[in-house]
Every structure is written in structure tokens, then in C-alpha cells.
């Protein structure tokens, strides 16, 4: 596993789980809830879980029912931040159950670090991506030259242990996003690595993401040290 700063943190301290078969969204929620409680109680290791779901629309805590245009798939209250999101085959999801109590207690830094991690991993496949002011998520230039979303982020923190995380569109059916206003943003479309001409398997994506995990954890460690210095 590659590391950008092996003297700071080691991603092997976290348990990594990969699922190739789709996992029902409600089952994943139950697993996250249980793991969150166990980590907070000191009974389990932190977990990074890479998977995909059968088609589902999930509603965040700020979801507006007017943005549920066509509920053709199951709709689940997710409990995370954000609005409506689609998950389905061809989209890789990363759920992070990390103890921010040991990592600086900075939710903004946590989200910022996830964005950087995904952006860096996309660059490994020749896709330039970026953050956008006022719009949480990962953005890139679509085939029509317009800005489009390629990755979504939505997190929840309970007992200073994180839940949920991010998703990246490898090769999903992009028409499935038309049943909602993705993340409440109407003026921008949704794209994928496949639409951009990049054929990336879940195995290839996971390997690249894990190879850059130490850099992600380094950002959280830097935030923790900064917070301690302030104190």
C-alpha cells in the first residue's frame, strides 16, 4: 500500500472491508449504526467499507420532497446530512466509521479531507476534479464541456464517530438520477468515469483509493495536531 507520509499515520490501523455483491441500503445502515456504537464504546476498530447498493434513493436530513421527482426506486431516510441522493450498480460507495474524538473533532476538515482523497484518486485515472464553493461534492468537466458532479458526500457524526461517507460514479445508469434533483442542485448534471471515456472496475477503483488512504488520514492528523496546538 502506497503512503504519502508513512511517518505520520498508517491506514492499516483501520479495518478495510470490500463487498463485490450489492448490499441492501437498509442492511448497510444497520451495520453502520452497530459499528458506530461499538467504536464509541471502544469495542471495535475503525472501519472503511467499500461497496455498492441496488438502486435506491436516499433522503438526507435537508431533503425537500419537491426534489423527489419520480420515486421509481425505494426511498430510504438515511439520517445523514444533505438532500436526495441516488445509489445503484456501477457506483462505488465508501462508508467511513472513524473516531473523530481521536482525529481533531473537526467535521469540516473531515469532509474537506474526503473531497481531497477522492479528487486525488480520480487524478490517477486521468480525470481532473475539484471542489466547488458552496456545493459539497466532487465536480469535473463533462463531455459537453459543462461542469457536472461525479462524486457525492454526505456524513453523519454521532458520539464523535462518523457514519456514511462518499460515492463515486464509475459506470452507473445515469438516467436513474432523473428521479430526483441530485443533492438539490438543478443547474448541474451528473457524470461518470465511463461517460468520460474511463473504464474503471470496482477493483481498480478500490485499489487506487486504498493506496491514497494514508494521505487522507494525514490530513485528519494535521487537523488534530493544529487543534491541539490551539489548545
Q: What residues act catalytically? A: 183
Dig out the grid coordinates for 27 from the structure.
442492511
Q: Are strands 135-141 and 147-158 parallel, antiparallel or unpaired?
A: antiparallel
| Cβ–Cβ < 8 Å for 185, 133 | no
Amino acid at each position: 500500500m502506497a503512503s504519502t507520509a508513512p511517518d505520520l499515520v498508517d491506514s492499516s490501523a483501520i479495518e478495510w472491508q470490500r463487498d463485490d455483491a450489492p448490499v441492501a441500503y437498509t442492511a448497510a445502515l444497520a451495520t453502520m449504526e452497530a459499528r458506530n456504537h461499538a467504536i464509541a464504546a471502544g469495542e471495535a476498530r475503525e472501519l472503511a467499507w467499500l461497496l455498492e447498493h441496488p438502486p435506491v434513493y436516499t433522503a438526507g436530513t435537508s431533503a425537500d420532497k419537491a426534489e423527489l421527482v419520480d420515486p421509481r426506486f425505494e426511498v430510504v431516510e438515511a439520517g445523514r446530512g444533505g438532500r436526495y441522493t441516488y445509489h445503484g450498480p456501477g457506483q462505488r460507495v465508501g462508508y467511513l466509521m472513524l473516531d473523530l474524538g481521536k482525529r481533531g473533532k473537526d467535521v469540516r476538515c473531515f469532509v474537506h479531507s474526503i473531497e481531497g482523497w477522492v479528487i486525488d484518486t480520480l487524478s490517477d485515472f486521468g480525470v481532473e476534479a475539484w471542489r466547488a464553493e458552496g456545493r459539497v461534492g466532487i465536480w469535473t468537466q463533462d463531455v459537453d464541456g459543462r461542469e457536472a458532479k461525479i462524486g457525492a458526500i454526505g456524513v453523519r457524526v454521532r458520539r464523535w464517530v462518523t457514519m456514511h461517507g462518499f460515492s463515486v460514479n464509475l459506470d452507473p445508469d445515469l438516467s436513474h438520477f432523473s428521479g430526483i434533483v441530485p443533492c438539490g442542485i438543478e443547474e448541474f448534471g451528473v457524470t461518470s468515469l465511463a461517460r468520460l471515456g474511463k473504464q474503471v472496475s470496482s477493483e481498480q477503483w478500490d485499489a487506487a483509493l486504498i493506496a491514497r488512504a494514508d494521505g487522507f488520514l494525514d490530513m485528519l492528523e494535521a487537523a488534530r495536531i493544529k487543534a491541539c496546538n490551539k489548545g
